[in-house]
């Protein structure tokens, strides 16, 4: 076995070992997805693919690395959250633009029928 193959095997073992440790900690302390609240499983850590877990910044500031601002999440839950957030902003922007086109709108209060 060449030194390159040995280094590759060692790196692979280290990745698998770190994956096992992370899964152990998540399960031992009952840490769940920030969004769906389901526990993480071994399926969330495929050996040869990208991990299916990511980190969510609770306050939206990616520079804020405090532990209470960082939460683990399933990659799909995290993506879905930000997609919904982006769509809501787009909808709000379109509504604001439509209102601006109308100009000043005066709404008269309606008296309830007695």
26-73, pLDDT tens digit by residue?
899 999 999 999 999 888 888 777 789 999 999 999 999 999 999 999
**Structure pTM?**
0.69
- Token pair 């993480």 is found at 40
Helix (H) or strand (E) holding 57: strand 53-57
76: nearest Cα among 47, 20, 33, 31: 33
**Residue 106 falls within a domain, yes or no?**
no
**Residue 39 falls within a domain, yes or no?**
yes
Containing domain of residue 48, as a range? 3-99
Q: Residue 11, Cβ neighbours under 10 Å: how many?
A: 10
Helix (H) or strand (E) holding 9: helix 3-28
Confidence of residue 95 (pLDDT cuts 50, 70, 90): confident
**Residue 114 falls within a domain, yes or no?**
no
41: nearest Cα among 49, 33, 57: 33
Q: Is the pLDDT of residue 109 over 90?
A: no
Q: Is the pLDDT of residue 99 over 90?
A: no
For residue range 77-91, what is the model confidence (pLDDT) as tens digits? 999 999 999 999 899
- Which 8-state DSSP code applies to residue 112? P
**Residue 51 falls within a domain, yes or no?**
yes
**Residue 50 falls within a domain, yes or no?**
yes
**Residue 109 falls within a domain, yes or no?**
no
């Amino acid at each position: 076995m060449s030194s390159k193959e040995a280094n590759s095997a060692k790196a692979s073992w280290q990745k698998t070992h770190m994956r096992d440790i992370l899964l152990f900690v998540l399960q031992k302390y009952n840490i769940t997805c920030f969004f769906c609240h389901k526990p993480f499983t071994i399926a969330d850590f495929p050996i040869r693919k990208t991990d299916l877990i990511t980190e969510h910044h609770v306050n939206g500031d990616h520079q804020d690395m405090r532990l209470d601002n960082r939460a683990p999440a399933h990659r799909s839950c995290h993506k879905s959250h930000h997609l919904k957030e982006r769509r809501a902003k787009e909808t709000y922007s379109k509504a604001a633009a439509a209102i601006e086109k109308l100009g000043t709108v005066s709404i008269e209060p309606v008296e309830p029928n007695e």
